[in-house]
Amino acid sequence: MGKCAACGSKSTQKNKTSVFPKDPDRRIQWIAAVRALRKPNWNPTKDSVLCEVCFIVFKFYIL
Ligand SMILES: [Zn+2]
């Protein structure tokens, strides 16, 4: 697994990473969250992942 798209953390046992959802609606929400909270001009690649810490933060943004 790669590094978290939002914070750059590597995947570890304590902080696992998740791939971006395939579902287009959810995927757009994840992308919007990364852009709003971390990187305004960010675009995902097929290898993009989010770590658990960022996912928890983003969960409040991703409804
Ligand atoms: Zn992260």
Q: From the first residue on, what is the mean pLDDT of each consecutive set of 10 residues in the chain (63 residues)? A: 89 91 92 92 92 90 73
State the pTM of this model: 0.81
If you measure from the C-alpha of residue 45 to the centroid of ligand 1, how many angstroms do you get, rounded to a whole number? 16
If you measure from the C-alpha of residue 3 to the centroid of ligand 1, how many angstroms do you get, rounded to a whole number? 8
Q: Which residues pair with 50 in a beta bridge?
A: 18
pLDDT attached to residue 49: 95
If you measure from the C-alpha of residue 55 to the centroid of ligand 1, how many angstroms do you get, rounded to a whole number? 7
If you measure from the C-alpha of residue 4 to the centroid of ligand 1, how many angstroms do you get, rounded to a whole number? 5
In 3D, which of 7, 2, 58 has the Cα closest to residue 30? Answer: 58
Q: Extract the runs of DSSP E, i.e. beta strands, from 1-63.
A: 17-19, 49-51
Q: What are the structural domain ranges in the chain?
A: 17-62
Q: What confidence tens digit (pLDDT) does each residue in 18-31 have?
A: 999 999 999 999 99
The dihedral region occupied by 8, where left means phi > 0, alpha psi between -120 and 50, and beta the remainder, is left
